Amino acid sequence: MSFEPRIVGILCNWCSYTGADLAGTSRMKYAPNVRVVRVMCSGRMDPTLVLKAFQEGADGVLLAGCHIGDCHYISGNLKTLRRIPLLKRVLVELGIEPERLRLEWVSASEGARYQGVVNEFVEQIRSLGPLDLEARRLPATASAS
């Protein structure tokens, strides 16, 4: 059986979640692999939420918020924009490919963009293969003991 990625999407309420809803009301079909958590603002996207998703077995994490300049809370997305590159370095340290985390801006009117982003990201994760953290942990545990 082919590998079906399991992806956690964390979307801001005002732009990206609404954009994802718009893709739905417009009946745009896209890959069903992303399971969505709604938060009020991309500024709420705490690195621990991303780590938690990987810990729970997600093969990828998609974060999406309002475009820069359009944040419903003025500047929450800027804070996340700065946070993610650092988080990606942490992922590398943990042995997780940074490409498994993606930050995107999707506005409330961009249903088609959300569809495109999801399809593209699912294919990217599919080509990366399963994350399988258990298997990756072995060498680290061995050196520690």
Partner 1 sequence: MASKIGVYVCHCGMNIAGTVDVPAVIEAAKAMPRVALSKEYKFACSDPGQEMIKQDIKAHGLDAIVVAACSPLMHEKTFRRAVEAAGLNPFLLSIANIREQGSWVTEDPAKATEKAKAIVAGAVFRAARQEPLEMRSVEIHRAALVVGGGIAGIQAALDLADSGIPTTLVERQPSIGGYMAMFDKTFPTLDCSACILTPKMTAVGQHENIKLMAYSEVESVSGFVGNFQVRIRRKAAYVDHTKCNGCGMCMEKCPYKAPSEFDQGLSQRRAIYVPFAQAVPNKPVIDPATCVRFKGKKCKTCIKFCEPGAIDFEQKDSVEEVTVGSIVVATGFQPMDAKKIPQLAYGRHPEVYTALEFERLNNAAGPTQGKILTKDGRVPQSVAILNCTGSRDTNYHEYCSRVCCMYALKYAHLIKEKLHEATVFDFYIDMRCFGKGYEEFYRRLQDEGVRFIRGKAAQVFGGKEYKAIANAAGFIDGLEDHQLVVQAEDSLLGKLIRVPVDMVVLTPAVEARADADEVGRKFLVSRGADGFFLEQHPKLAPVSTTNDGVYIAGACQGPKDIPDSVAQGSAAAGKALGLIARREVEVEGTTASVVDELCSGCKCCLTLCAYNAISFDADRHRSSINEVLCKGCGTCVASCPSSAIKAKHFTDEQIFAEIEGLMSM
- Among positions 5, 101, 115, 125, the unique one binding partner 1 when judged by CB under 8 A: 115
Of 37-45, 98-106, 120-128, 129-137: span binding partner 1 (CB under 8 A): 37-45
Report yes or no: 46 and 14 within 8 Å, Cβ to Cβ. no
Interface pattern 42-61 for partner 1 (x via CB under 8 A): -xxxxxxx--xx--xxx---
End-to-end CA distance of the chain: 36
Q: Which residues of 9-46 are buried (b: 16+ CB within 10 A; e: fewer)?
A: bbbbbbbbbbbbebbeeeebebbebbeeeebebbbbbe
Residue 145: CB minimum distance to partner 1, A: 29
- Residue from 47, 42, 19, 30 nearest 118 by CA: 30
Any contact of residue 39 with partner 1 (CB under 8 A)? yes
Which member of 5, 16, 41, 131 binds partner 1 (CB under 8 A)? 41
- What is the closest distance, in whole angstroms, from the C-beta atom of residue 71 to partner 1 in the complex? 8
Contact 23, 115 (CB under 8 A): yes
Q: Which residues contact 95 (CB under 8 A, 6 or more apart)?
A: 136, 140
25 makes contact with partner 1 (CB under 8 A): yes
- Under the binding rule (CB under 8 A), the answer on residue 106 touching partner 1 is no
**How crowded is residue 92: how many other Cβ atoms within 10 Å of its Cβ?**
10
Chain residues binding partner 1 by CB under 8 A are 6, 8, 13-15, 17-18, 20-21, 23-25, 27-30, 32, 35-41, 43-49, 52-53, 56-58, 69-70, 72-76, 79-80, 83, 107-110, 115
